[in-house]
Amino acid sequence: MSDVVPGKTEQMRAIKDAIVNLKESPLYEYRTSHNYYPVIGQGSHDASIMFIGEAPGKNEAEQGRPFCGASGRLLDEMLDSINLKREDVYVTNIVKDRPPDNRDPRSEEIELYAPFLDQQIEIIQPEVIATLGRFSMVWILERFGSPKASQKISQLHGQLIPVKAGYGDVMVIPLFHPAAALYRQDQKETLMKDFQVLKEFI
């Protein structure tokens, strides 16, 4: 029998199955007792632009989709400003289950879920990874050994940082988290301006 290489959809499904059954996660019991869903990711498996947020909030865990609350509406507004729709990009998070009370993800949670994100990056093979917020920025820059990993998001936002992924060269662009821009007009303007850099990857 010949070995059949699984397609992108099958590979993503395997990731989903593994996360659904991730009983060793400290967030598993919280998910199941609240009838929440894990949030694997959404969008095109052939996207050239991949967005990586932090972790699902309540809306996301209830619907099983990333960025579907107020931050998501702002993300859609930003996408619209460069004539893109959700289905043109891929959106995911580092941590795939909702942390209680919207607390920050813990390092052991990031370590547990990060290998799934690694696999998703290798499946999608984006040209550019846009990190949303400092958690995903630090994780991605450290993961790819960038010397910029120790710098602050206030210094790095909007910059294209070249790194090497397993499949080849990729650019990372750190962006502020949309939640931070929701109530601060100056941050929203910065995010909108930084977002325009993504046009060159369309």
Please report how close the Cβ of residue 40 comes to ligand URA at its closest, in angstroms. Answer: 11
Please report how close the Cβ of residue 42 comes to ligand URA at its closest, in angstroms. Answer: 9
Q: Which parts of this chain interact with ligand URA (CB under 6 A)?
A: 39, 53-57, 60, 66-67, 71, 93, 179
DSSP 48: S
| Per-residue CA distances from 166 to 12, 107, 169, 170 (Å) | 18, 23, 8, 10
Which residue's CB is nearer to ligand URA, number 55 or number 137?
Answer: 55
Which residue's CB is nearer to ligand URA, number 126 or number 133?
Answer: 133
Which residue's CB is nearer to ligand URA, number 3 or number 114?
Answer: 114
Read off φ and ψ for residue 172, nearest 5 degrees.
Answer: -115, 135
Which residue in 37, 40, 31 sits closest to 13, CA to CA?
40
CB 171 within 8 A of CB 128: yes
**Residue number with the shortest CB distance to ligand URA?**
53
Please report how close the Cβ of residue 66 comes to ligand URA at its closest, in angstroms. Answer: 4
Beta bridge partners of 93: 53
CA distance 113 to 144: 17
Please report how close the Cβ of residue 53 comes to ligand URA at its closest, in angstroms. Answer: 3
Which residue's CB is nearer to ligand URA, number 54 or number 97?
Answer: 54
